[in-house]
Structure 1
């Protein structure tokens, strides 16, 4: 068997390596010491501990270069290198807000900032452009210099701030006004009156120059200049023209019909005209409009009216005795006042109404005339039935009435006939004349009572009362048939 033995003087390492060989016959065992294995060299980890921070730093730098603006970049004198686009936008806005304009005037000096003036730039767009054109990850774009930025100021804000900061430099202008003149029932303009004050264009230019050059303060000569009113006469005139145009057409409409006109003074009472920042606007009060809306059903609703027309034998309309009228009923008035108020505020005074319509019916009466030369009779037909048959007198053999189909043309209630130089006769004040063929006409004859016999120069003579009836009964275009 083999057992491990240990030298008395062996250390722990030696003991670990000793082996004993002994026979089974009880002989003295042979002792052999195993050679000590060389120890494995331990790895040094110093480089690893140094490399980790360096790698992390490089990774962070690479990541940062993907979102940062290149070194040396600036926008209007504002350094933005090493900033994100968002940070650059904030820096640009902050610099503009802090930039100070010093007003130098005979009354002293006054300071006002970009923030006070309502100054602004499109900081986000400028910052985004700076990053897009000069990203940190592209060394070729480093140190590109500065880019320009257009500065604007809010005129109303700037004027108010300047007046507050340097009141002695201002003589306030008077805005133009728009008012309703009851006498003319129209809107009129009160012209603007210019004042004096600081030139906004000069202040804006100075602020722009300072911002572009990176200066935080700039000084301008603040000698007073003429200052226009915010609400100018021209703007007031334009508002007056628009409002008066509304008054010309204001009302409630069914189709193209101005069914319910609104009085100009009433419409003006609905409107409030105001001027803010030099711009004229107007609003309408639905509560004031409601009274007119409540009256709409009575003004709009109506029954259909049957048309009554005179026609010829083919159905052609000769005369409309009674015009047909379509019936209509307003469907609802809910929301009309508010909707009309919104329209008026936009300059539209035409409000369309929604109605249910009922078509009208038509009654037609056919009329025609017939003259029988053989019987000397004039017939009045209505709807193909003889209404009247009158004895009449047509032309003598020397001036016969012409047979044929004609129509009533020109009509006159009184006329002299044949009374011209060279005429063979002259009959004055001939009544109820209705021409149908050249100089041949139906008319009254007060000078004889021989009706039923030829008597005329070609006309159809009738008793005066009959001629008056025919004159009124037969409209222009009535068919006339003359025959034997």
Structure 2
């Protein structure tokens, strides 16, 4: 056995199969190697210790490949390879925000960034698309090149930024406005006035080109051009038309009836018109509307009014003496002001009211006339009872009054009778004429006082006062019975 000198600090079991024998005289210990056991191979741990980190790394790489974009991918010149979709979206937005447009003008150069212009792209959608089309787990999609992204700018933000960055190049346009004209009680348009400034389309195109090519800066000619107002005259005209339409119909309605109209000037005082970049809107103040709401019960509530009609013997209405009116009462005014304000903001000035209605009753009065040729009497019947009976004068034997059932037709308060060429008589200014059968009529006879005897050319003569009463009492369509 070969003697080996060990490290002074070696442990007794420092080696497989070795024993340590210290000298009895204090000399250095020796190590005696025991022969290896037959059939017992030596342990090799190298593969284990190396394999564990390699396996973990491989698993991590596989997991990463499932969420990362393939190497070489870019969006509008922004490298996104090796990034997650979220990281790519952030990178795209950051690049656009920092991309600079240099305005070159006779008054000098001015710089403005994408962030200043309110520039934006749909970074999330672009990043998601880049990952969907070029995932790292698919090597066939690696190094695909770049895809374009549509850049937009916020006009109001860009205009303000350009005006601030290059004030010498900018004359602000004047937006169109809408105002209420008290003289005409109507809304009118104040036209827009164009200004001067940097062409937004040129700036946007330059920003787009720089972003697409991956440049962080680009220069454009900043010669002033006409700048149209954001709120145009046409937009103001449209708002004026809508507002004046509201004023034409504004009010509180019961059914189709505008029961409580609202004065145009009052309605305009409720409204506030504003414009944000050309989008005209209007709002109404419920607190201002409330005063009109408080007055609604007095204007809307009413008692029912019963109808009174004149009918014939079969119940047919000849005349409505008193029109029936349904009673009504406003159920509640709670919330009306707020609800009406919301309607007005939407361009609707017709506010429907909810009312409880009370029906009206109808009183019918039947009326008819009777002429007795035998007794020369005229009778006025009301509800089948004789109201008046008058002596009258009907037609002479040579021009008799025709028996039969007729109805009152044409009526006139005054006319000449028989006064035409070839006529056998002429009586002027005959009063209170009510025709019932051709040229036969009731009328007043001021030229005689022989009532109760036949006297006429076929008409029924009455004293003037009686004829006036009959004229007013018997509406058109009143039944007339002439008999012996």
Confirm or deny a common fold (TM above 0.5): yes
Deviations 1:368-392 (A, max 9, x none): 2222233322221111212112222
Q: 1:25 to 1:442 in 2, by over 3 A?
A: closer
Checking the alignment, whether the CA contact within 8 Å between 1:170 and 1:197 is kept in structure 2 is yes
Distance 2:396 2:283 in 1: 80
- Structure 1 gap ranges (5+): none
Distance 1:107 1:15 in 2: 88
Report the Cα offset of residue 87 of structure 1. 1.5
Report the Cα offset of residue 111 of structure 1. 0.7
Distance 2:196 2:187 in 1: 29
Report the Cα offset of residue 5 of structure 1. 32
Q: 1:9 to 1:160 in 2, by over 3 A?
A: closer
Checking the alignment, whether the CA contact within 8 Å between 2:4 and 2:30 is kept in structure 1 is no
Deviations 1:129-177 (A, max 9, x none): 2222222223333333322222111111110010001000011122222
SS of the aligned residue for 1:394 comes to coil
Report the Cα offset of residue 37 of structure 1. 6.0
Moved over 4 A (4+): 1-37
Q: 1:403 to 1:90 in 2, by over 3 A?
A: farther
Checking the alignment, whether the CA contact within 8 Å between 1:179 and 1:187 is kept in structure 2 is yes
Q: 1:461 to 1:215 in 2, by over 3 A?
A: same
Distance 1:246 1:96 in 2: 46
SS of the aligned residue for 1:12 comes to coil
Q: 1:5 to 1:130 in 2, by over 3 A?
A: closer
Distance 2:4 2:110 in 1: 104
Checking the alignment, whether the CA contact within 8 Å between 2:415 and 2:428 is kept in structure 1 is yes
TM-score (norm: length of structure 1): 0.89
Checking the alignment, whether the CA contact within 8 Å between 1:6 and 1:15 is kept in structure 2 is no
Q: 1:462 to 1:141 in 2, by over 3 A?
A: farther
Checking the alignment, whether the CA contact within 8 Å between 1:3 and 1:19 is kept in structure 2 is no
Deviations 1:37-62 (A, max 9, x none): 62522442221222222222222222
Distance 1:95 1:195 in 2: 32
Report the Cα offset of residue 471 of structure 1. 0.9
SS of the aligned residue for 1:481 comes to strand
Q: Residue 456 of structure 1 aligns with which residue? A: 456
Report the Cα offset of residue 408 of structure 1. 1.8
Report the Cα offset of residue 4 of structure 1. 32
Q: Which moved more, 1:367-376 or 1:95-104?
A: 367-376
SS of the aligned residue for 2:158 comes to helix
- Structure 2 gap ranges (5+): none
Checking the alignment, whether the CA contact within 8 Å between 1:68 and 1:131 is kept in structure 2 is yes
Cα RMSD after superposing both structures: 7.1
SS of the aligned residue for 1:15 comes to coil
Q: Residue 160 of structure 1 aligns with which residue? A: 160
Report the Cα offset of residue 429 of structure 1. 1.0
SS of the aligned residue for 1:152 comes to coil
Q: Which moved more, 1:158-167 or 1:223-232?
A: 223-232
Q: 1:233 to 1:404 in 2, by over 3 A?
A: same
Deviations 1:371-422 (A, max 9, x none): 2233322221111212112222223333333333322222111111222223
Distance 1:26 1:73 in 2: 75
Q: 1:405 to 1:208 in 2, by over 3 A?
A: farther
Q: 1:115 to 1:454 in 2, by over 3 A?
A: same
Q: 1:39 to 1:373 in 2, by over 3 A?
A: same
Report the Cα offset of residue 97 of structure 1. 1.0
Asked if residue 193 in structure 1 is aligned to residue 231 in structure 2, the reply is no
Q: 1:35 to 1:318 in 2, by over 3 A?
A: same
Checking the alignment, whether the CA contact within 8 Å between 1:6 and 1:18 is kept in structure 2 is no
SS of the aligned residue for 2:49 comes to helix
Q: 1:314 to 1:124 in 2, by over 3 A?
A: farther
Q: Which moved more, 1:159-168 or 1:339-348?
A: 339-348
Q: Which moved more, 1:59-68 or 1:298-307?
A: 59-68
Report the Cα offset of residue 261 of structure 1. 1.2
Q: 1:248 to 1:201 in 2, by over 3 A?
A: same
